[in-house]
């Protein structure tokens, strides 16, 4: 549990993806999980016209909120501060971790209990706390399982979706003292709950993510099913929430449509078991709640996406994971192959802003551009269009590449670009095209037998002996 984890280099993406594709057990596990999630989502949206109207509304709320992002963030900070919540701004993961550790040390904290938070995964908070001598324990069951296994989440909603119950049973028996092997799901859940319940009572700080922030009231909204989020935010004497700056909406009335889209798209539920609305620390008249509440607002490349009119739509995401569940690539290789905190289609478009296009451009090409992700996105993010834009940015000449995305031009190859320009010219000029096809049909014996990834599963492609033009001419 104490072994630090780090981001996996994306230049190894192809090798990791290949390893998963060749693992029949993982293939079966992913296929079953994706079919289950797709069917649950479909059952929640029986009326397509109603779904499209709700998607229109969700898209409009997110675009409106982003159009006023600077103003809404200022209003949010004022309201939160007036409510007694302390607001901290972090530009980088390192700054966010430093702020967190400063707060923990000010409260002489030795342990924290965490509700589910992908932003805390993004900054690798657990490792920073461990380095500072502070114990961090995940309380979401899926997160707890991957923490025990020294792994990162493979799905933003279901972190341990890649594991079978037998693997979890073996993990519990090996890592939890005094636990015998059992593959009963009910018994495994009870084992996890017993371990975690004791920690809630003794942890100095509770940590959570935030699904939405309401500027007009200074409210942090958090949805969850296990009750661990409510425990993490109410039992310890200090609560620290961490989230990205893009999660703000203006009004409380903007929350219900987005919650309806989020829970139904994510887990196929009309609403989650718990909906937490946090607006202040515990007041004198209240029986429970933390004495202090802090909110860490993280940038980490989000203002880069915000600055570009097209790429800004990346920030519309409400983290439901529906794009992953319907992606033909994710459903075959899972989340770990991507090597980033956010896998799948949404990970491909947000990771370049968080980590730089120079280390993530391979992910933008891991897509068939089939459009399934855009069809199910509850807030209509045009993911295929954004993938094409990121590919274009990656392969631009560095000498002329703009500053819209950090690392633009990092995949540029003068040889590759010369070939693409030659290919484009061949199709642009009929005489050149006729000459090319004549040479290809007459010199077909020069066609290489090995043609990259194509010939791993197919016979080599070869031009016909005679062109269609020649056949028609003889007839």
Listed by start position, the domains of the chain span 1-44+321-412, 63-304, 420-473
Residue identified by tokens 């020649």 is 470
Helix (H) or strand (E) holding 119: helix 118-122
Task: State the pLDDT at residue 474.
Answer: 56
Task: State the pLDDT at residue 8.
Answer: 60
Burial of 194 by CB count in 10 Å (0-12 exposed, 13-18 middle, 19+ buried)?
exposed
Alpha-carbon span 180 to 174, nearest angstrom: 9
Task: State the pLDDT at residue 260.
Answer: 97
DSSP letter at 205 equals E
Task: Tell me the pLDDT of the chain (475 aa) as tens digits.
Answer: 444 445 566 668 888 888 888 888 888 888 888 999 999 999 999 999 999 999 999 999 999 999 999 999 999 999 999 999 999 999 999 999 999 999 999 999 999 999 999 999 999 999 999 999 999 999 999 999 999 999 989 999 999 988 989 999 999 999 999 999 998 999 999 999 888 888 898 999 999 999 999 999 999 999 999 999 999 999 999 999 999 999 999 999 999 999 999 999 999 999 999 999 999 999 998 988 999 999 999 999 999 999 999 999 999 999 999 999 999 999 999 999 998 999 999 999 999 999 999 989 889 999 999 999 999 999 999 999 999 999 999 999 998 888 899 999 999 999 999 999 999 999 999 999 999 999 999 999 999 999 888 898 899 999 999 898 888 875 4
The listed CATH number (3.90.700.10, 3.40.50.150, 3.30.300.20, 3.40.50.10420) that belongs to domain 63-304: 3.40.50.10420
Alpha-carbon span 342 to 269, nearest angstrom: 22
Task: State the pLDDT at residue 2.
Answer: 42
Q: How many residues does the chain have?
A: 475
Task: State the pLDDT at residue 1.
Answer: 42
Specify the 3-state DSSP secondary structure of 275: strand
CA 142 to chain centre: 16
């Amino acid at each position: 549990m104490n072994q630090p984890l780090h981001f996996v280099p994306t230049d190894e993406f192809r090798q990791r993806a290949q390893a998963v594709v060749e693992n029949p057990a993982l293939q079966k596990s992913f296929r079953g999980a994706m079919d289950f999630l797709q069917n649950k989502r479909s059952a929640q949206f029986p009326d397509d016209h109603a779904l499209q109207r709700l998607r229109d509304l969700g898209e409009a709320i997110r675009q409106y909120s982003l159009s006023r992002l600077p103003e809404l963030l200022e209003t949010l900070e004022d309201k939160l501060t007036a409510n007694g919540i302390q607001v901290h701004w972090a530009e980088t993961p390192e700054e966010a971790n430093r702020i967190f550790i400063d707060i923990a040390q000010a409260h002489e904290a030795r342990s924290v209990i965490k509700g589910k938070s992908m932003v805390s995964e993004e900054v690798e908070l657990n490792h920073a706390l461990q380095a500072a001598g502070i114990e961090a324990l995940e309380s979401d069951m899926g997160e707890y399982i991957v923490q025990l296994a020294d792994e990162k989440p493979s799905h933003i909603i279901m972190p341990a979706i890649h594991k079978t119950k037998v693997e979890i049973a073996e993990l519990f028996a090996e890592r939890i003292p005094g636990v015998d092997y059992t593959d009963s799901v009910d018994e495994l859940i009870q084992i996890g709950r017993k371990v975690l319940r004791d920690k809630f009572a003794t942890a100095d700080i509770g940590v959570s993510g935030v699904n939405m922030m309401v500027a007009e009231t200074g409210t942090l909204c958090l949805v969850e099913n296990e009750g661990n989020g409510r425990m993490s935010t109410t039992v310890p004497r200090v609560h620290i929430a961490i989230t990205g700056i893009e999660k703000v909406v203006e009004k409380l009335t903007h929350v219900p449509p987005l919650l309806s889209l989020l829970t139904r798209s994510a887990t196929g539920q009309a609403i989650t078991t718990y909906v937490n609305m946090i607006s202040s620390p515990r007041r004198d008249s209240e029986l429970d709640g933390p004495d202090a509440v802090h909110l860490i607002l993280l940038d980490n490349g989000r203002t880069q996406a915000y600055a570009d009119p097209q790429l800004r739509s990346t920030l519309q995401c409400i983290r439901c994971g529906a794009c992953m569940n319907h992606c033909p690539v994710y459903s075959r290789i899972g989340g770990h192959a991507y090597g980033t905190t956010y896998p799948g289609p949404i990970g491909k478009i947000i990771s370049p802003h968080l980590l730089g296009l120079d280390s993530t451009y391979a992910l933008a090409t891991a897509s068939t551009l089939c459009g399934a992700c855009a069809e199910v996105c509850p807030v209509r993010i045009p993911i295929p269009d954004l993938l094409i834009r990121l590919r274009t940015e990656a392969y631009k000449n560095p000498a002329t590449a703009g500053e819209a995305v950090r690392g633009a031009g990092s995949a540029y190859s003068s040889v590759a670009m010369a070939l693409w320009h030659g290919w484009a010219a061949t199709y642009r000029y009929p005489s050149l095209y006729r000459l090319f096809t004549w040479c290809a049909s007459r010199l077909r014996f020069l066609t290489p037998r090995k043609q990259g990834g194509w010939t791993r599963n197919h016979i080599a492609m070869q031009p016909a002996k005679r062109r269609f033009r020649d056949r028609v001419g003889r007839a």
